Structure 1
């Protein structure tokens, strides 16, 4: 996958490419998930708050991850600026080990692709190794959009709108209702999936940001914020 391959034209919903509902009224479907790159630009469609390209972790990246996840050292790398050679060099210095070159290459590819897709001269990038859930409570991001992929461990969990009660969002309080209406409908991205999630800051999406949370356990995640 190249950065320019993310410039696939936007696809209008039709019987052939509309996402299949997980349950409830089909009018409430606000996600699209598939195996090809053209699913990611669907985040620009009105009403879509989650677009996902399924992607298994390659053997080369898995080999990069093996030693990193077994090491006791922590990892919390961040970058703010262009997706360029300076970013690549900074990440390579952080990871240090030559066997992690495949991971460096993939992180940089993801950063370049997101910068290209959103025409963003600067991006915010975070690569974190977590031993516990970063955001264990279901919530909505206040930003416009975020890219996320999980390299190791469990993927991000999310809720269809009709399986959630938005009145429960925000700080926990005894008077608030439970956010989750139906625990059996909690969804989870797979390790390796590439996902774009709209927040409440996306123009025209106030009050409709994707409801999601971090699962427990050790994980390695990459998050990219364009702009």
Structure 2
């Protein structure tokens, strides 16, 4: 079976919007928009605070599921209380949470704050869920590919969906250190065809990054 007969994509243009104004994030509600990105480059102090924290925290992942409330902010603040310029890391995540709350008014979120020294999910894949906010501090962030450049391997026997081929380097986009982006997932109503294809940040040897993800759960 050919990939084209298995995967049906509406013939519509898909937009990936990037701007240095935070207001760009609200355009994720536009039906033809798959990704919005607030370009907010991390300064030296914030970037180095993230690197320092990751080297100290190792694989001490912070994960939370529930409402956005004061107790959550206190937990996040305490993570960085002993880190030089840790207040900058807290303020970055606090801003993400406040913007997510303002945009979606979720009853429940999933928050992950991941100190990383290697790519957790290096293969390109469709985003699941409804919508995800993401940001990386300490180095380059999530990689993503526009829909028109996504190619598939032929279906194998008993395979329900085709695997995505590794994109050409020239077709890969990368979020910058400090950028805050929203990406649609396959469960955004009537927007399955606009789910973003992405992969975790890449890492050089001895590189440390703080990866932050907020998922809309309810």
Q: TM-score, normalised by structure 1?
A: 0.77
Asked whether 1:159 is paired with 2:141, we answer no
Q: Say if 2:58 is the partner of 1:68.
A: no
Contact 1:115 1:121 (8 Å CA) reproduced: no
Q: CA deviation at 1:95?
A: 3.3
Select between 47-56 and 70-79 the one with higher mean Cα deviation.
70-79
Corresponding residue of 2:87: 101
Q: Is 1:119 matched with 2:105?
A: yes
Query: CA RMSD of the aligned region, Å?
Result: 2.6
Q: Quick one: higher RCO (CA 8 Å, sep 6+), 1 or 2?
A: 2
Q: Contact between 2:68 and 2:97, CA under 8 Å: does it hold in 1?
A: yes
1:74-122 Cα distance to aligned partner (Å, 9 max, x none): 3311122222220122123333415312211221221121012101132
Equivalent position SS for 1:202: coil
* Structure 2 runs not aligned, ≥5 long: 1-11
Moved more, 76-85 or 142-151: 76-85
Equivalenced residues, count: 198
Identify the residue that residue 224 of structure 1 maps to in structure 2. Answer: 214
- Classify the secondary structure of the residue corresponding to 1:223: strand
Specify the alignment match of 1:33 in structure 2: 18
Give the 3-state SS of the residue equivalent to 1:38 in structure 2: helix
How far the C-alpha of 1:209 sits from its partner, in A, is 0.8
Aligned to 1:44: 29
Change (3 A) 1:132 1:184: same
TM-score using structure 2 length: 0.80
